[in-house]
Structure 1
Amino acid sequence: MPAVSAPPQPGAPSVAGVPYRAALSMLATLFFMWGFISVINGTLLPHLRSVFELSYFETGLIESVWFIGYLLASIPAAKLIERIGYQRALTVGLSVMTLGSLGMILAAYLISYFVTVASLFVVSCGIALLQVAANPYVAVIGPPESAERRLTLVQAFNTTGDVLAILFGKYLILARTTAGTTAHGTQLTAEQRIADAQATQLPYFIVAIVLAALAVMIARAKLPALGSATSRVSAEARRGLSLFNHRNLILGCVGIALCVLAEIGVGSYFINFASQPDVANLTQEHAATYLTLFWGGMMVGRFAGAALMQRIAPERVLAIFALIAIAGSLTAVFATGPAAMYGLIVVGLGLSIMFPAIFALAIRGLGPLTEEGSGLLIMSIAGGALAAFQGKIGDAFGLHWGFLVTAACAAYVLFYAVWGCKVTNAVADAPVTAAG
């Protein structure tokens, strides 16, 4: 791809003449948008549960299909990036997400469970492509000593999208439906379910328009590209290099899978949990307000985590936040009344920095294998598919017992922070170059 000749802004750090802060600002909009569209599921799933009369396990299966998209799309995404470059891959990812969002409008019109699941699968494939491209981009584009802080900071914008998505879903989905504004357990008539199903047309039309606009913006932008430090290398050069020689990567993949499972498990079942009479006895619409506090805690935690990492080693910050997540999830399991709900809200703060911190720690020392390692980490996001089994626990024993899964996931992250993230067999990085 042709080199970019635009001069850097005065005083701004740059990559081969291209201000990387400007690039980070553009990438922050992508992090914001995929966080937004992912977390709409937090209000969409209880809505779909009412429309299609699903069990918690069946509701969780929708989320599982979403994360299977990550699993299936990550390796093809890495190959696509190799062929067309990062910037074009970002544009393709946004276009795929736009197509899936338009499919959700069709699903609402047809009131089709199958089209709904298929459309969400398409959206998740587009997000997987964005993740494979953008996460290593942010980690490598600036000074290596600040990679964890930089990735945590842009992930904070991702969580800002999460918070706004809950408000968006509350007012444009739940507040406009019968199920969303009545007490837990209310039986809907066939006419009410039809009306509720069609309430998702407007929000997904808005989402499709925004995604299409972002695709055009990214296609026309001038962005620095990753250099040889993160590009695939020839078979000859790869001899003696293996991803499996890097303990921090392999254990980090498990950590990514489990921290995503914890995050999705809380986000997917929070509204149903808070709506129960023995917890907070709220309507789904009112419970969505408290769900914004969960995602708000993640947003605040990421900004705070980025600041703390300027003075404290990232792995130590990660360990502290893991302990917070363990305490909050155990409160949700064993407490009763509103205290259980507030414990779950605190979990958001604990989970906040897990994904970006683990990702950055896991690709340390990969050198020319960074792109492939990043693809493996993005595949690990498929761990969120296991949220369906947390729903199975909820069906069998009660939703609160399912949050033992959250506590166990946080305990593993604590182990990773203390020992698992230590780098083995580090490979030297090469400088980053610029391309249009």
Structure 2
Amino acid sequence: MPAPISARSVESTSAPAGASYAPALTLLASLFFMWGFITVINNTLLPHLRSVFDLNYTQTTLIESVWFIAYFVASIPSAKLIERIGYQKSLVVGLLVMAAGSLGMVLAASLPSYGVTLVMLFVIASGITLLQVAANPYVTVIGPPETGSSRLNLVQAFNSLGTTLAPIFAGYLILGRSVGGTTQDRVLTQAERLADAQSVILPYVLVAGVLVVLAVVIARFPLPAMGSATSRVAKEERKKHSLWNHRNLVFGVPAIFIYLIAEIGVANLFINFVSQRDIANITQAEASRYLALLWGGMMVGRFAGSLLMQKIAAEKVLAFFSIGAFVVMLGATFLSGPAAMWSLILVGLFHSIMFPTIFSLGIKGLGPLTEEGSGLLIMAIAGGALVVVQGWLADRYGLQWSFLLTAVCELYILFYAVWGSKVTNPIDDVPADNDVFA
């Protein structure tokens, strides 16, 4: 994989080392917010599309699988694009690609078309991939290495703010304005399906407008320029090392992959699960409000995790949270009624720190291999595509039993926290005169 950027080689033209990065990180937090917001609209969109197109669980989760396949397909092209046009322009391109996909959802709703919906969600996810490839490693290295996990958890908390508000926004504007979202166990007429399909037009027009405005702001914002001298030195240094010598990365890539199966499976099937008569017996529109609590738990957990990791080793915090996630997933599987619903809501709290902590632990000690390692970890987000496996399990064995897959995923995260995240063969960063993070 090419090394598109070197966060260690950022050049500041207007301020002393580190002093000019607070405004940049604040702006980046808005990106984390927006891609979290748009991603979680899918959680509300899936049960909506299930009723519009009369889909089974496998076909429903295939929609989300297409979304995460984009991470696998678009990661390397994103890295090459960043190398070619630079960090700031790539952020603008990513936002505009997302805006184009959002407007494409208007076309998909107007037809309505299941196939066009899949294509447009792939386009939106490709734009998000471009933002992810650049922003996550940037935040991780912009400061002391020992607080990288804390810093990324803090910024990711704004991602969770977006995921918390999205179900309320989409629940009101999509499910709350549709027949399928406000009734239970009803087969829709053709006219009702057409009307329900068109209820997504307004939300996606609003999202597209916000994305375009944000792209204009970033295009005009004086982000630090990306230097080239250190990048050239790092490329020479990379030839002396192998990614396979770093246990924390080798086991970190599948940890991200497996974690995404767990997170996306819970989020995408949440509304269908809690709206069942033997769980909460509520409408999908009402269930979307409880989904906001799940994502709100992730936001609270990330703020709390950021503070905890100032004093406790990140891997220890990760181990504790993975045990908690395993316990509540067993509750969601074997309990019934509101107890099962609240167990599923609580998993959001325990999932909160997993992605940013695994990511920061995975690139720890990589030195000049940091960019390649970051790219592999972002590609591993494609694990969310395997949510279709949980959809198949739900169709075959029942929706509630399918959450055993999630429980198994939590055990791998525990393994990674206890053993897999241990740094082996750490490499020092390449020194350079223009390295502001030295």
TM-score (norm 1): 0.94
SS state of the match for residue 40, structure 1?
A: helix
Alignment-mate amino acid for residue 321 of structure 1? F
CA 1:133–1:326 in 2, change beyond 3 Å: closer, same or farther? same
Output the aligned Cα RMSD: 1.8
Q: Using a 3 Å threshold, how does the CA distance of structure 1 residues 63 and 22 change in structure 2: closer, same or farther? A: same
SS of alignment partner, residue 424 of structure 2? coil
1:230–1:247 CA distance, 2 compared to 1 (3 A) = farther
Structure 1 residues 19 and 91, CA, compared in 2 at 3 Å: closer, same or farther?
same
Aligned pairs, number: 426
| Distance change (3 Å), C-alpha of 1:321 and 1:208 | same
Superposition pairs of residues 120-199 of structure 1, within 5 angstroms: 120-183=121-184, 185-199=185-199
SS in 2 for 1:422: coil
Q: Does 1:205 align with 2:205?
A: yes
Query: In the alignment, is residue 119 of structure 1 matched against residue 120 of structure 2?
Result: yes
Counterpart of 1:86?
87
Structure 1 residues 302 and 29: alpha-carbon distance in aligned structure 2, compared to 1, 3 A threshold: same
SS at match of 1:187: coil
What CA distance in whole angstroms lies between the structure 2 residues aligned with 1:383 and 1:161?
Answer: 21
Paired amino acid for 2:270: F
Partner of 1:22: 23
2:41 touches 2:167 (CA, 8 Å); kept in 1? yes
Which one-letter code corresponds to 2:70 in the other structure? G
Kindly state the Cα deviation for residue 243 of structure 1 after the two structures are TM-superposed: 1.5
Q: How much has 1:271 moved relative to structure 2?
A: 0.3
Report the counterpart of residue 313 of structure 1 in structure 2. 313
What amino acid is the match of 1:135? N
Residue equivalent to 1:282: 282
Mapped partners of 1:232, 1:362: distance in 2: 23
Runs (5+) with no aligned partner, structure 1: 9-13
CA contact (8 A) 1:229 1:429 kept: no
- Distance in structure 2 (CA, Å) of the matches to 1:419 and 1:232: 34
Report if aligned partners of 1:326, 1:410 keep a CA contact under 8 Å in 2.
yes
1:233 Cα deviation from its structure 2 partner: 6.0
Moved more, 221-230 or 130-139: 221-230
Do the aligned residues in 2 keep the contact of 1:230 with 1:369 (CA within 8 Å)?
Answer: no
Q: Which residue of 2 aligns with 1:403?
A: 403
* Greater mean alpha carbon deviation, residues 237-246 or residues 68-77: 237-246
Deviations, residues 153-198 of structure 1 (Å, cap 9, x unaligned): 0000000000111111100100000000001x21100000000000
Shift of residue 237 of structure 1? 3.4
Matches of 2:11 and 2:346, distance apart in 1 = 47
Q: Give deviations 1:329-352, integer Å, cap 9, x for gaps.
A: 110100011111111011101100
Conservation of the 8 A alpha-carbon contact between 1:227 and 1:430: no
* Bigger Cα displacement from structure 2, 50-59 vs 88-97: 88-97
Q: Deviations over 1:40-70 (max 9, x none)?
A: 0010000000000000000000100000000
Cα drift, residue 230 of structure 1: 8.7
Give the partner amino acid of 2:204: Y
Cα deviation for residue 226 of structure 1 reads 5.8
8 Å contact kept, 1:232–1:369 = no
The 1-side partners of 2:169 and 2:114 are apart by: 22
How far apart are residue 240 of structure 1 and its match? 2.5
- Among all aligned residue pairs of Structure 1 and Structure 2, give the percentage whose two residues are the same amino acid: 62
Q: What is the SS of the residue equivalent to 2:241? A: coil
Does the alignment pair 1:428 with 2:433?
no
Residue in structure 2 matched with residue 355 of structure 1 by the alignment: 355
Q: Match for 1:44: what amino acid?
A: L
Structure 2 SS opposite 1:241: coil
Counterpart for residue 378 of structure 1: 378
Alpha-carbon contact 1:318-1:357 (below 8 Å) kept: yes
Q: Is the 8 A contact 1:52 1:113 kept in 2?
A: yes
Deviation of the 1:5 alpha carbon: 2.9
The amino acid that maps onto 2:80 is K
Paired residues of 1:141 and 1:226 also in contact (CA < 8 A): no
CA distance in 1, matches of 2:277, 2:48: 19
Contact 2:149 2:356 in 1 (8 A): yes
Contact map agreement 2:271 2:284 (CA 8 A) in 1: yes
Residues 72-125 of structure 1 show CA distances to partners (whole Å, capped at 9, x for unaligned) of: 000111111122221111111111111111100111111011111100000000
